[in-house]
Amino acid sequence: MDWRGPAVLVALLAIGTGSGYAASGATRDTTIGTGSAAPVPASNPEFPVEAELPPAKDPDDPALQPGLQMRTETRGSGKFEITFPAPVGWSTNANATNEWKWKEPGTSNNTYVMRIEQINSQDITVEDAIDVRIERLEREQEDVDILDRGADSLEYTYRSNEGNARHSFMRWLDLDQSGQADVEIVVHGRERDVPGTSDLIRRVADGMRGATGGVVETP
């Protein structure tokens, strides 16, 4: 009996099995790497953003209209006296010895209001006064948007402490042509009040006179 045949067959089978295993091993990535495992950062990570709250609901009071009836008012004394037109029937109160506020009686908070302040003691130019106001607004108020800046004026919107959207106009006046701002005027209102508030501050500023000025007009 020739035993070499089966022996050769067994040897060939062993060689084939070993070669196949070696070939399959060569095609696998057996690298295990170094260091500790860590999450892979996203290429463009997105963080959750809290949705901005809408403004609080405006009071339903009727909008302020242009062309209010005006009367002549006088504040201060001596060389600090100022004379100007103010709305007839509006109540007034002094916030300080050099600052006054006007409001139409019966209107809700966060409707419209006017404030006049004498600032001649601050020895500040009109331009610098506007810069200071903008810096203060951006530091103290939310959602401030400067809509327009003029040589002596500022128009802006912001969110009040109660959450209401406000639209404001400001003017600074150098009544004695000294190069320093003497008076600051501001009128706040809702968006619907803009025609009335812009007309009011224009008329008050155009009609204001200092102690050495002429007769105030009420256009």
Question: Over the stretch 15-62, which tens digit does the pLDDT of each residue have?
Answer: 454 445 444 444 444 444 455 555 555 566 555 555 578 899 999 999
Contact 204, 86 (CB under 8 A): yes
Cα distances (Å, whole numbers) of residue 40 to 29, 45, 117: 20, 11, 60
Residues 134-157 have pLDDT tens digits of: 999 999 999 999 999 999 999 999
Tell me the CATH class for 82-207: alpha beta
d(CA 121, CA 125): 11
For the chain, which residues make up each domain, given as ranges?
Answer: 82-207
Flag whether pLDDT at 9 surpasses 80. no
d(CA 184, CA 121): 12
pLDDT at site 121: 79
194 or 23, greater pLDDT: 194
